[in-house]
Every structure is written in C-alpha cells, then in structure tokens.
C-alpha cells in the first residue's frame, strides 16, 4: 500500500445494497404517487368484491417489511454521519471528548447540550 492511497474499503453485504436500492426506489416521489394510486384502486376493488380484509393483510405485511428496510438504511446513514463528524472533531480544535457522544445516554446528551448552550457566545 502506498502512502498516498487509502486502504481498500470492505464492501457491504449484497443484501444491504439491495435494501438500499429498494428504499431509494420507494422513496422517490413517483413511487409514492404510484403507491397512493395502488391503495385507492385496492380499496375500491376490495370493497367491490368484498375482500377488503385480504387487501389490508397484504398492505400490513408490506408495511412490516418496509419498516425494517427503512430502519436499516437510516441506521447505516446515521453511523456514517457519526464517523464523519468524529473525524471532523478529531482534526479541528473542537473537543475530542465529544467523539462517540452518540453512545451516551439521553441524560448525558442533554447535560452536554446544556453546557454547550451555556458556553455559546453572546448574541447566538
């Protein structure tokens, strides 16, 4: 490895990449419009043929899976953001004791926030 080249990154698991592609696709405004249309059509068809319970069951199952997909993506993005912020803290004159603050309890974080608010310059 040369001095000017960063170490190779380990690739994420294929399932993780697929989940991200799914959540990216479903997060698009066109996908939302399509989903809203499907819900309206499913409700009408369910009412007409008397199978609204089946439509509701399918919607519940899809929602259940999507909660996990969205949580996966959100968790990964949050961790990446924390790593980036930790690096910025490390290379600046910011307080290094704030690195890893995301692992503290809510009470500890509230206390740190209050300290930072007390120390802010006048006019902020």
> Mean pLDDT across the stretch 84-111?
88
Confidence of residue 91 (pLDDT cuts 50, 70, 90): very high
Angle, helices 29-49 vs 14-26, to 10°: value is: 80
CA distance 90 to 92: 6
Q: Give me the residue label for tokens 């740190």.
A: 112
Query: What's residue 10's pLDDT?
Result: 66
pLDDT at 3 > cutoff 60: no
Question: Are 112 and 101 contacting, i.e. CB atoms less than 8 angstroms apart?
Answer: yes
Confidence of residue 104 (pLDDT cuts 50, 70, 90): confident
Q: Can you give the pTM of this predicted structure?
A: 0.55
pLDDT at 98 > cutoff 80: yes
Q: Can you give the residue ranges of every domain in the chain?
A: 32-119
In angstroms, the Cα distances linking 1 to 7, 10, 11, 12, 29 are 7, 15, 18, 22, 44
Query: What's residue 7's pLDDT?
Result: 58
| pLDDT top residue among 24 and 108 | 108
pLDDT-above-90 percentage for the chain: 6
Handedness of CA 24, 29, 30, 31 (dihedral sign): positive
64-78, pLDDT tens digit by residue? Answer: 888 888 888 888 888
CA distance 24 to 28: 7
């Amino acid at each position: 490895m040369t001095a000017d080249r960063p170490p190779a990154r380990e690739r994420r698991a294929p399932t993780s990449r697929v989940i991200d592609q799914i959540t990216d696709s479903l997060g698009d405004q066109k996908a939302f419009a399509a989903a809203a249309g499907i819900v309206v059509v499913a409700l009408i068809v369910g009412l007409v043929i008397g199978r609204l319970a089946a439509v509701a069951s399918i919607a519940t199952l899809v929602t259940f899976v999507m909660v996990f997909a969205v949580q996966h993506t959100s968790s990964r993005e949050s961790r990446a953001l924390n790593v980036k912020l930790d690096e910025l803290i490390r290379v600046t004159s910011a307080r290094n004791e704030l690195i890893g603050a995301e692992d503290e309890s809510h009470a500890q974080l509230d206390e740190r926030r209050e300290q930072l608010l007390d120390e802010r310059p006048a006019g902020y």
